[in-house]
Structure 1
Amino acid sequence: MEIKPDSKELLELAHYKMPFGKYKGRYLVDLPLPYLVWFQQKGYPEGKLGKFLNIMLTIKDNSLEPMIRKLQKEFPRQSS
């Protein structure tokens, strides 16, 4: 089975910011690992945010943050 990441979703994840709380306005990649683990233990929020927090925990657990930072740099978010 071949796994093909959704490039649009990956770019959205790279530019997604925390919408509430202590870390409001920070990119998910900038959230501390213990905060992501806390969400895993307590339960992720519904919807896209929960999905992205879960993915970001996996990314950080596997030391793949440079991949996200490269996407942020090479594909800056377009102003709407």
Structure 2
Amino acid sequence: MQPDKEFLIKLAHTKMPFGKYKDRYLIDLPEYYVVWYHNKGFPKGPLGQMLETVYELKLNG
């Protein structure tokens, strides 16, 4: 399955909109923080989809 290029480009340019890591690029979030979201549950909508993708990227490289 080929990743959606537009989604990945948007992901690369999206910053965390709130919280401790506000204004940090999603891909630069610490792994433990993304794992915490995975355990807690990702938010609904585009941000949640992006955080889930970041989780998979950090998990699988």
Range into which the TM-score falls when normalised by the shorter chain: over 0.9
Moved over 2 A (4+): none
Q: Per-residue deviation at 1:61?
A: 1.2
Residue aligning to 1:6: 4
Larger Cα Rg: Structure 1 or Structure 2? 1
Which one scores higher on RCO, CA 8 angstroms, separation ≥ 6?
1
Residue aligning to 1:45: 43
- Structure 1 residue ranges without an equivalent (≥5): 64-80
Does residue 31 (structure 1) correspond to residue 22 (structure 2)? The answer is no
Give the aligned length: 61
Residue aligning to 2:55: 57
- Structure 2 residue ranges without an equivalent (≥5): none
Secondary structure of 1:44's aligned partner: coil
Q: Per-residue deviation at 1:22?
A: 0.4
- Output the CA distance in 1 between the equivalents of 2:13 and 2:44: 19
C-alpha distance after superposition, 1:48-77 (max 9, x if no partner)? 1111101001101123xxxxxxxxxxxxxx
Instruction: Report sequence identity in percent.
Output: 52
C-alpha distance after superposition, 1:11-65 (max 9, x if no partner)? 00111110000000000111000100110111111101111101001101123xx
Secondary structure of 1:10's aligned partner: helix
- Output the CA distance in 1 between the equivalents of 2:5 and 2:14: 14
